[in-house]
């Protein structure tokens, strides 16, 4: 069953209704996380909970539950859903109060949904996906996992309109990240990814892929790169909780090398899958 959690209660997610004065709905005034469930177990949950706390703190939002209690709510939800492979989205907003930009004097709201995991096609993994580049039109605090996703939504739709899977965002001539992914390129056996600043989200998958690369003796450089550098790479891929490690075939219709997923991309994806298969 698709599980929802709202006002401290588990319900059928398909019946959940958000109150009209909910600030997440009216202002996007909140933060969120998504966690994958493999074989009924949440993957890298503690890292996601830590990031939720950091995002909340960055917008002066006090979580309505402790991280331990949120963990319990999630584990109970997974049990109730009876799903083996799922995705859990949870949001914390500044609560429900009559419309006013100022912070209301109410406690924060916590909502959650647990639904079957959306799957990227197998073909995407063995052929790689098409991407486009587009201007990064987001705000100055992209390290916060905020509910405000309008520029990301517009960029992703633009990619889709151009028969591509992801939009890679460009700020001041450099790649920041994808609309919902981090971006990596391999050139001369070195793995490059954009360094952590306020311009990108510190992806949990990114962090774990970097750890794996170091373990596997792949040289890593956290360094900004341009679209031209990306296209001239030997391999490239995207990472996120949802897509894991997803090879990029082309950028703006320019194929990277012969387009097929490269050996380092495949090795990192295989090693990443081992983390939850263990």
Ligand X SMILES: Cc1ncc(COP(=O)(O)O)c(C=O)c1O
Residues annotated as part of the active site: 145
Provide the pairing of β-strand 244-251 with 235-240: antiparallel
Site string for ligand X, 186-215 (x = CB under 6 A): ---------------x-xxxx---------
Q: How far is the CB of 249 from ligand X (least distance, A)?
A: 20
Residue span 77-116 as binding mask against ligand X, x where in contact by CB under 6 A, dash where not: ----------------------------------------
**Candidate ranges 65-73, 79-87, 126-134, 175-183; the one touching ligand X (CB under 6 A):** 175-183
Query: Binding to ligand X by residue 55, rule CB under 6 A?
Result: no
- The set of long-range contacts for 52-57, using a CB threshold of 8 Å and a minimum separation of 24, is 52/90, 52/92, 52/145, 55/31, 55/144, 55/145, 55/146, 56/31, 56/92, 56/108
Nearest distance, CB of residue 181 and ligand X, angstroms: 5
Question: Tokens 């109150």 map to which residue?
Answer: 19
CA distances from 249 to 142, 146, 188 (A): 26, 29, 18
Terminal C-alpha separation, the chain: 26
Residue with tokens 């991280």: 67
Which C-beta is closer to ligand X: that of 80 or that of 223? Answer: 223
Binding to ligand X by CB under 6 A, coded x per residue (else -) over 219-258, reads --------------------xxx-----------------
CA distance 257 to 215: 26
Give the β-pairing of 3-6 and 41-42: unpaired
Size of the site for ligand X (CB under 6 A): 12
Nearer to ligand X, 56 or 96 (CB): 56
Is the CB of 96 or the CB of 179 nearer to ligand X?
Answer: 179
Torsion of CA 32, 197, 60, 24, to 10 degrees: -30
State how far the Cα of 185 lies from the Cα of 247, in Å rounded to an integer: 10
The nearest distance, CB 271 to ligand X, in angstroms, is 15
Which of 136, 166, 177, 235 touches ligand X (CB under 6 A)?
177
Minimum CB separation of residue 278 from ligand X in Å reads 19
Contacts of 171 (CB under 8 A, 6+ apart): 135, 136, 199
Of the pair 96, 155, the CB lying nearest ligand X is at: 155
Least Å distance between CB 240 and ligand X? Answer: 4
What is d(CA 13, CA 86) in angstroms, rounded to the nearest whole number?
A: 13
* Site residues for ligand X per CB under 6 A: 177, 180-182, 201, 203-206, 239-241
């Amino acid at each position: 069953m698709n599980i929802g959690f709202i006002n401290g209660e588990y319900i059928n997610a398909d019946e959940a209704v958000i109150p009209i004065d909910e600030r997440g709905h009216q202002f996007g005034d909140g933060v969120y996380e998504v966690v994958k469930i493999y074989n009924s177990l949440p993957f890298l949950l503690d890292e996601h909970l830590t990031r939720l706390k950091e995002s909340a703190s960055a917008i002066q939002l006090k979580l309505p539950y402790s991280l331990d209690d949120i963990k319990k709510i999630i584990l109970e939800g997974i049990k109730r859903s009876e799903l083996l492979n799922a995705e859990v989205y949870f949001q914390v907003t500044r609560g429900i109060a009559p419309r006013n930009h100022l912070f209301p004097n109410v406690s924060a709201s916590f909502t959650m949904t647990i639904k079957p995991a959306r799957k990227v096609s197998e073909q995407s993994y063995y052929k790689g996906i098409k991407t486009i580049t587009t201007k990064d039109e987001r705000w100055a605090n992209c390290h916060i996992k905020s509910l405000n996703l309008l520029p990301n939504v517009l960029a992703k739709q633009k990619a889709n309109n151009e028969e591509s899977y992801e939009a890679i965002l460009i700020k001041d001539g450099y790649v920041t990240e994808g609309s919902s992914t981090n971006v990596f390129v391999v050139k001369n056996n070195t793995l490059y990814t954009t360094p952590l600043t306020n311009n990108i989200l510190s992806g949990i998958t990114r962090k774990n892929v970097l750890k794996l690369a170091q373990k596997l003796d792949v040289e890593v450089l956290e360094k900004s790169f341009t679209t031209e550098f990306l296209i001239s790479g030997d391999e490239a891929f995207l990472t996120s909780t949802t897509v894991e490690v997803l090879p990029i075939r082309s950028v703006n219709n320019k194929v990277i090398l012969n387009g097929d997923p490269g050996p380092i991309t495949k090795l990192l994806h295989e090693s990443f899958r081992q983390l939850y298969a263990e």
